Each structure stands twice: as structure tokens, then as C-alpha cells.
Structure 1
């Protein structure tokens, strides 16, 4: 993994110390040992099922439909959401986890639904397909229970346009991806870096459908991007 180059560090730190009216400290500096760590304590002892309950309640606040199923019922639930949204065209990433849906391509075709699978070799054709799609469907990589946020790591096989451009959005959430909040998600990303693992060039944090509010805080849902969103939590994935 390549690392960046830090330039002008010494002059910057010396300038900061001067503004503080003291000389620069080069030793004896340690990270404080805080007595309270609320960022770690929230939902610390929650089970995955408990986090799912937190997510379910949060979905009511972010205007997102919450559905729960097991792997055996996943394909049926996905098709139900597609039909409920009246979608006839879908875009999906190239993701091996779609194998959990069985022969979904044939099933969707039988129901008159066309599918575009992201293919990096097609370039901008993928973005055009997303712009025209009725629904974008993807699996969550991480899921923040507290805020109802799904995290998507983009790659050449999983373009971020899938989550942002279609009219509606469906995210399949394996129970195993649930973490309490942003703190744990940041730790996960940090550990990827520490272990030298590949890290996506873009990580999208998506909280329900698109929202906008004016200066008077009048919330409008679906101004830009998906106007509706659903999460399907799969209890045994």
C-alpha cells in the first residue's frame, strides 16, 4: 500500500507552538486516557439482533422501509420490493453475494424486469444505465444501526452511481454487517489500512432516500437521487 508524503511538518508544528506561546514539544506527548468514552459505550453490549432492533426504529425516522427475512426468503422479499416500487429496470453491482438470491436473473426476467450488472469495461454506459434505472439494488458492506446508514465501498465492479442515480433504492443488509455507530465503522476502515488490505477509493455513507431541507427546516424527501429506499435485513447472512 502506498503512503503519502508529509511536507513542512516541522515548520507547521513550530508555528502552532509559537502561537500557543511555548516551545515545541518533541517528547513526553501521549494520547490522553479518557475516563469516559461515550463513542464506544453506545450499544456496546448489544447483540446483532439488538442492533437490528435499533436499526428498525431508526428506519422510521429516515423514511426507509425495513424488512426482515432469512436467506431462504430473501429472493421473494427482493422481488416484492421491486414490484411494490413498480420497477421494470434494475442496476446491480458485480457482487458474489447476489448468489444468495439463487437464479434471480431468470426470476426477474419472468416478471418483466431488465437488469444491468455493472461492468467496468463498459465505462459511461454503466452511468447511463443507472440514470435510467427504476431501482438500484446492492448489498451493504457495513451498516450503522444508530443512524440507519449503509456503507458502500466502491470499486471497479461496484460503482457508486448504483446507489445515487436510480429512482428508488434497495439495500440488502446481512445481519453480520451491523455495527453500533460511526465509531465502529471508522475503526473497521482503520484496521483495513493497518493490515495493508485494499481500501476502496470511495466509501459512500447512505442514510435512506435523498433528503433536503430549506432554511426553515422543512424536510423534503426525494429531491435528488432515490425518492424511496428499503432495507432488507437478512438474519442468517
Structure 2
């Protein structure tokens, strides 16, 4: 660090300008669409948009239920998806809805109930994973997952199928609103998740002649279960 000023001075001279000690102000945005586009939509309109995009573009199976019916809905969907183990996120929000191993059945187990890497190893052989989504994005039909000790990334990635549970009130219009929310969270000193995953339906690709193929490198089927809380 002794030669920092000399080093920066030499760089500035090569660039033909004086040494800058203050950052250049950001350019004024051309528009504010990131935070205003679709911001006037009602919760029902956002839900409709979310379901339309998720179903037609992302090929997710979209369903609506109540808080009281959430546990039963998850159990029924898991049964539809076939026999096998059902892996549940250990998120408190799911438990508050009654989505527990007892409610789902004898083949259900909870992330964290086994230690370390064994969680991922067992997840890879599970039929269905059930995860809690912090938010959803209406414009792109995207689920937003926060990784934590209770909600490991493998829960939504390794099982053959994934059930995403999200509240209707947590559906945001678009990515800009999520970015603002995360910025405010960080500014307030609230701990950030270890990883933020944006999931747009089951795994798929359209690399070959723009033909969409589902189930290439992850879950074969994604079910979006929205909880009516408004």
C-alpha cells in the first residue's frame, strides 16, 4: 500500500486524466420501468398473469388452495406424482401451514433430519421435493427460493418432481421489485440468505433448433401451489 498513490497516478497519466478519488455518479436511468411496470396490478391480476406465464411458457402445473387446505393439497399432489419418498423443506412457514411429515404420510421426511451430505444423497433418490418460496414473479412465472439450513438447494433440485408453495401476497410483479426488496433487506442489516435461486418451472432446454425439451437436468415436473391469503 506504500506506493498506492504513485501507482494510481501512473495509471491516471496513462489514461490522460487526473486521479479520481470519488466515484463517478451513476447515469440517470432512462426510465423507471424496473420498479413501476405492472406495479398497478391488483393481487388477483398478478396471480392470473403468474399462472398464465407459468403454465404456457414454463410448463408448470399451477394450483390455488387455502391455508387450511395446504397440507391436504400437498399430500394429494405428491400422490399424483407417484410412489416414493417425499422430501419436505424444514421451513417454519410450511410447518405453520400444517405441511409436516405426519400430515403427508409415512414416506415423507424432512431436510436436516439426517446429517450433512446424507441429506443430498437421500434427496437424489426422493420422488418429490416440497419447498417454500419466499416470493414469486408474475412477469416471468418465476419462483424465488432462499437457501438456508432449513431449506437446502437440493430439496428443489434433486428429486424427480418439485412442489413449490408460495403465498398469493408474496407474488411480485417483476424482478426489479425483488431486487429492491433485497436491497432494503441488506440496508436494514437483516441477514441475507446463503443463496437466492430463481426457478422457472421444471428443468428444460431449447438449445437444439429452439425445440423445448423438459426434464433435461433436474426435476421432470414442477407444481406451483399458491396459498390464498388475501
TM-score class, shorter: 0.7 to 0.9
Matched residue, 1:67: 63
- When residues 69 and 12 of structure 1 are mapped into structure 2, their CA distance, relative to the original with a 3 A threshold, is farther
Alignment pair present for 1:42 and 2:14:
no
1:137 touches 1:162 (CA, 8 Å); kept in 2? Answer: yes
Work out whether residues 116 and 129 of structure 1, in 8 Å CA contact, stay in contact via their aligned partners in 2.
Answer: no
Residues 71 and 104 of structure 2 are in contact (CA less than 8 Å); yes or no, is this contact kept in structure 1?
no
Spell out, residue by residue over 1:158-183, the C-alpha distance to the aligned partner (whole angstroms, 9 max, x if none): 11000100000000111121111111
Q: Which runs of 5+ in 2 are unaligned?
A: none
Partner of residue 167, structure 1: 160
Indicate if the aligned counterparts of 1:210 and 1:226 stay in contact, CA closer than 8 A: yes
RMSD: 2.7
Q: Deviations over 1:7-33 (max 9, x none)?
A: x899679858955x5435545943344
SS in 1 for 2:190: coil
The 5-angstrom pairing of residues 171-190 of structure 1 reads: 171-190=164-183
Q: Secondary structure at the match of 2:185?
A: helix
* Paired position in structure 2 for 1:83: 79
**Structure 1 residue 36: Cα displacement:** 2.0
**CA displacement at 1:213 relative to structure 2:** 2.4
State the aligned residue count.
Answer: 226
Q: TM (normalized to structure 2)?
A: 0.87
2:6 and 2:46 map into 1 onto residues whose CA distance is 45
Query: In 2 relative to 1, CA 178–103 (structure 1 residues): closer, same or farther, beyond 3 Å?
Result: closer
CA contact (8 A) 1:87 1:135 kept: no
Check conservation: 2:70, 2:99, Cα contact below 8 A. Answer: no
Which residue number corresponds to residue 225 of structure 2?
232
